[in-house]
A = this chain, B = another copy of it.
Amino acid sequence: MDKKQTNSPVSLKHITIQDPFWSRETELVRTAVLPYQWDALNDRIPGAAKSYCMHNFRAAVRRNEKKRKLGDAFLEPHFTKEGWVFTPEDPQNPDDQFYGFVFQDSDFYKWIEAVAYSLTQHPDPQLQAIADEAIDIVCKAQLENGYLDTLYILSGTDKIFTNLQDHHELYCLGHLIEGAVAYYEATKKTPLLDAACRYADYVSSCFGEEEGKRRGYPGHEIAEMALVRLYQTTGKERYLKLARFFVDERGSRPYYFDKEKNLSSPSDELRYSYYQAHLPVRAQHEAVGHAVRAVYLYSGMAAVAKETNDASLFDACGRLWDNMVGKKLYITGGIGQTHMGEAFSFPYDLPNDTAYAETCASIGLMFFARRMLEIHPDRRYADEMERALYNTVLSGMALDGKSFFYVNPLEVLPEACRLDERKFHVKPVRQKWFGCACCPPNLARLIGSIGSYAYTENETTLFAHLYVGGTVQKQVGGKSFSVCVSSEFPWNGCVRIQFPEDTPEFTLALRIPGWCSTYALAGAGGAKQTLRDGYLYLTKAFRRTDCLTLTLPMEVCIRQCSPLVRENIGKVAVTRGPVVYCLESVDNGEGLWRLSLSPDAAAKVEPICIAGEEFPSIRIPGFRQRVSEDSAELYKPYTIPEKEPVILRFVPYYTWANRGENEMSVWVQSE
């Protein structure tokens, strides 16, 4: 790898999104998701699980004020066997207790990050006022030494950093940084960024290789990639150093979490693999453990590798990528095959109906993919980033932005979700809000920053990974110019690129997706063209009159699964461009498993209306195995199954469950 050859996301300040698909999504985030989530963080959604997120920050502010007032007379609140209780002056006061998950603070940080992205695209003084007020509360919740996690501030500061394995102080640091950097970039306001730096400085004073510092690392990763971002924003080396320390310290023996818990005998690797701490990261070859943790770590590894020009770390990332994408990835871009530990299972174990495939895990996969692309633009990364985005990630949110999936299975029988405890994690309809509400705000921040996944750049080159329509500002040799992209992704593969004014010579790198068997480019006369790693590099000083037309044919494609996957043997899936399709019983009748299709049957794309909007559906002739009265008998001598011809209708996977509770299946029997 060569640091000079790397690239970075185009600043959201330099991207204006104008895209029939993504303008709608970002508007949905702005008008529906962000206000809803603000209400949720403040426990104002009737009937939804309480968040307590802002409650905790406010209680921490009261604690700090009390401490200032009382001085030496102040008694710390404490954690006891009876639970997270209190201030000693008023042990029964529920207003001063911490409630919720140990990572509850991070919900605000994700929200503020999404707000920042939204403000970049769409200035909104009222929203900004709400945000500033909230930031003020958060900043006041911070301790004088820079520590900022309401769990311990409210429950006993003497226990700070004593349970890195299970508590999320460093995870909250990571999200604080992500939110703070985004808000600073959007508004140039510094209070939250200052708070993030102060917390990061405090953490930096506590953790590291130096004598007297703890050699710990986060139980739930994210601080690694966030600290790299803080370094990129502030230029302060200590944040990069801390990130690298967290990455490299992971997996050291004796295990830090064992020491933390004073375990007499060492834990086995299996238990530590949940945290990806079973081995030093450079010795890890298999994507294991909690899927979100895993891809957050890998993202951090790639971020550190890029900034430190660390080839062996990048190699480790590549191995983990190949293992994950080659052996543990659902066709929908979902990862985490089992709900036990929300984790990866073993290679080629890809059950459809008990899949976990958490929305956040696929978002994390996008983080990882983008960071790999920054080091090495190869469509392999972008293809999977796009697969995750248009399928599992978007599936996480209802079309109206008001309910969310945490789990994104590939086959659902609603009856089973209610009656089979093995599938209680699978919900047949999206939920309003979760007690553990990591996915909704994560979705909001991902959608809000979609431009930074679509476009990256280095000095001479603008990379188009996802064809999100809009205008990108690029500077080459001190000259600034615009590149206008219009597309109808993910429904139509025709991309048009224009230049409002003549440009200096630069390189435009256009991704040719793996799902295209052919492509065509028109209007690039005079450009030097190179195809490398799935990117078409065009170098030219473009003219105001130039209009590039890239055609990436989106044909219906019947796909098969590797025969190493037990669950999909004899089955096929329907895709078109980056979009995976599925069957729902609302269109196809009940008993989806009794349907089959011939892979060479002619498919037809036809609009369908879902929740008031039009989407391209796919109609394919197929069959339905009949259930005659006597075929209800369980076991009978074989007779040729009676099948009736039917037209199967597939809808985009991410739009499923927007028409009430019903059966769904991605894979269908092949005739």
Which residues of chain A have a CB within 8 Å of any CB of chain B?
325-327, 329, 331, 338-341, 345-346, 349, 354, 413, 415-416, 419-422, 517, 557-566, 569-570, 572-573, 591, 593-594, 596, 599, 625-627, 631-639, 641, 669-670
Contact = CB atoms under 8 A, between A and B. Distances in A.
Given A325-B634, A558-B637, A570-B669, 14 more contacts: A331-B635, A340-B420, A340-B421, A340-B422, A346-B416, A346-B420, A349-B415, A354-B422, A559-B638, A560-B637, A562-B633, A564-B627, A564-B632, A570-B570
A599 B638 CA distance: 7
Contacts of A338: 420-422
Q: How many copies of this chain?
A: 2
A569 B349 contact: no
Contacts of A562: 627, 631-636
Contact of A341 (B327, B354, B421, B593): B421
Nearest to A343: B421
Contacts of A596: 570
A563 B594 contact: yes
Q: Which 4 A-B pairs have the closest CB atoms?
A: A340-B421, A599-B638, A558-B638, A566-B593
A557 B636 CA distance: 9
Contacts of A341: 421
Nearest to A573: B635
Given A415-B346, A569-B669, A559 B635 contact: yes
B635 A560 contact: yes
Given A326-B632, A346-B415, A419-B346, A591 B564 contact: yes
A325 B564 CA distance: 34
B631 A563 contact: yes
A331 B634 CA distance: 8
Contacts of A669: 569-570
Contacts of A354: 422
Contact of A625 (B346, B419, B563, B634): B563
A569 B594 contact: yes
B422 A557 contact: no
B326 A641 contact: no
A557 B637 CA distance: 6
Nearest to A288: B419
Given A563-B594, A563-B627, A569-B593, A416 B349 contact: yes
A344 to B, nearest CB: 10
A566 B670 CA distance: 15
11 contacts: A326-B633, A326-B634, A327-B634, A331-B634, A331-B635, A349-B415, A349-B419, A413-B566, A560-B638, A562-B633, A569-B669
A413 B633 CA distance: 28
Nearest to A628: B563
B561 A634 contact: yes
A19 B339 CA distance: 50
B636 A560 contact: yes
A637 B416 contact: no
Contacts of A557: 637-638
Nearest to A634: B562
Contacts of A566: 413, 593
Contacts of A331: 634-635
Contact of A639 (B416, B560, B631, B636): B560
A419 to B, nearest CB: 4
A287 B374 CA distance: 58
A627 B637 CA distance: 31
Interface centre among A331, A593, A631 (most CB of B within 10 A): A593
Nearest to A387: B635
Contacts of A636: 559-560, 562
